Amino acid sequence: MARLAGKYLTFVLGHECYGVPVLKVREIIRICDITPVPQMPDYIKGVLNLRGKIIPVADLRLKFHLDHIENTKLTCIVVVQVILGDQSVTPIGLIVDAVEEVVNILESDIEPPPDFGTLLHTDHILGMAKVKGTVKTLLDIDRVVSAVHSETSVIAAHAPR
């Protein structure tokens, strides 16, 4: 749990609150035309054109097996810069219900991820932060996405860790 304190961008999925390290976030864009890509898990919504660069877009709701909802005015895409297994850095868009704010989270406010046993894997969670009376799940976005990647691979090897 070393050095988890810092600034996090928090966003909402359903009634839950999540945070990603703000240094990972490249930009936040409005929901826009996404070109579907065939032969992908359903939470990979497709690709979009980010100023000439084509980046994949994942729906975090579907990724975390939450119910699908229609896009609202607040729905947006958080573009994060992730490090893949082979150390390459790539941008990926994450569809979230709404972006909240950037909060500074102190080390003392962070608790290790709870152990749900087999009910729920928590290895993509950095920790749980208590901010102003609410609990926010801090995501290890690299792992969330590397799981995305390994699942899309044709060979479909076991997800790392």
49 binds other proteins (CB under 8 A): yes
The residue from 44, 76, 94, 126 that contacts other proteins (CB under 8 A) is 44
Count H helices and E strands in the chain, helices first: 2, 11
Q: Give the shortest CB-118-to-other proteins separation in angstroms.
A: 28
CA distance 150 to 156: 6
List all residues 6 or more positions away from 77 whose beta carbon is below 8 Å from its beta carbon: 28, 29, 30, 31, 32, 48, 57, 93, 94, 95, 96
70-99 residues in contact with other proteins (CB under 8 A) are 84, 88, 90-92
Q: Residue 125: in which H helix or E strand, if any?
A: strand 125-131
The nearest distance, CB 81 to other proteins, in angstroms, is 12
Of these, 1, 14, 23, 36, which contacts other proteins (CB under 8 A)? 36
Measured from the CB of residue 58, what is the shortest distance to other proteins in angstroms? 8
Q: Which of 22, 47, 103, 147 binds other proteins (CB under 8 A)?
A: 47
Shortest separation between residue 47's beta carbon and other proteins, angstroms: 5
Closest residue by Cα to residue 57 from 75, 44, 42, 40: 44
Are 84 and 146 within 8 A, CB to CB? yes
Binding site for other proteins (CB under 8 A): 33, 35-40, 44, 46-49, 51-56, 84, 88, 90-92, 145, 148-149, 152-155
